[in-house]
Amino acid sequence: MSNSGTWRLRRRVEEGVFALGSLSAAVLFLVPLVLVVSASLRQPGLPPPRTLEWVPSPVAWGNYPAVFQLLPLGAYAANSLLIAGLAIPLTLVTASWAGLGMLQVPPRWRTFLIWLSVLLLLLPTSSLWLARFLLFRHLGLINTFGAVLAPALMGSSPLFVLLFFWSFRRVPPELFEAARLDGGSLITLWDRVALPLSRPTVTAVAVLTFLLYWSDFLHPLLYLKSQHLYTLPVGLQQLQQLDRSNWPLLLAASVLLAGPAALVFLGAQRYFLQEGRLEGSAGF
């Protein structure tokens, strides 16, 4: 067999192994989601099934309208969407600014900032609750969405800053120098050079930010006092307190919480696959 034939065979084997691994991972994550959807359609009051039940009998489609009758979950979902929708652009701007700023400082300061970001990632979030609560109360942000969105003004997470830093670091320095010679400011470098060449990172951070704020339970619980400001995770906790034994209704609300996150993840996956095909066709 020629070298080209051997290379093609090896590539097909690698692609087959990768496809098998991807399929196994997809099944590993999809099966629990399918079982949750199935359990959310069980008739309330029935004993738990003794075996795996893929399709309950009878199918209780009324569980989903029932959760909206018990609590204003539609308003809670709108609040969650509003918070996530505002947090994504704020996080993208501040985290990318911080990542580009780390790239511009001298190497000594850059190393210090990298290690500081890593240490902040290791810091337990619970250690910040009291200090943040006192600060937000002093600023008058308690019982407003501003308290929940405040982390977005600082990049939401040091991880997002590091992701942008490593992405911008891959941009050829000659492009930044050419933009500077043309009279471009730091904002121009960020808008015209850094961000357009880091689209996968922008998409990844946007998806992670959506998941972070959409599923956030602790911060709305700590800072929001009025019921009309509650988010969907807080509503799910309220539903559990109303009837802890009514698992079909609880799982129906859980599906409502997990559904948008799964759709966003699937949409991002399609984007990454398209980007991978484009890079492969371009010879990268």
pLDDT at residue number 244: 72
The domain defined by 71-242 carries CATH number 1.10.10.10: no
Give me the residue spans of the domains in the chain. 71-242
Residues 96-153: tens digit of each pLDDT: 999 999 988 898 999 999 999 999 888 888 888 888 999 999 999 999 999 999 999 9
Residues 160-181: tens digit of each pLDDT: 999 999 999 988 888 888 888 8
pLDDT at residue number 189: 85
Whole-number mean pLDDT of the chain?
84
Strand, helix or coil for residue 46: coil
Given a contact cutoff of 8 angstroms between Cβ atoms, the answer to whether 233 and 215 are in contact is yes
Given a contact cutoff of 8 angstroms between Cβ atoms, the answer to whether 152 and 94 are in contact is yes
State percent of the chain over pLDDT 70. 90
- Consecutive H or E run containing 191: none
pLDDT at residue number 35: 81
Question: What CA–CA distances, in Å, run from 211 to 147, 164, 216, 233, 262?
Answer: 18, 18, 8, 12, 9
More confident residue, 208 or 42: 208
Q: Is the peptide bond before 158 cis (omega within 30 degrees of 0)?
A: no
Is the pLDDT assigned to residue 259 strictly greater than 90?
Answer: no
Q: What amino acid occupies position 142?
A: I
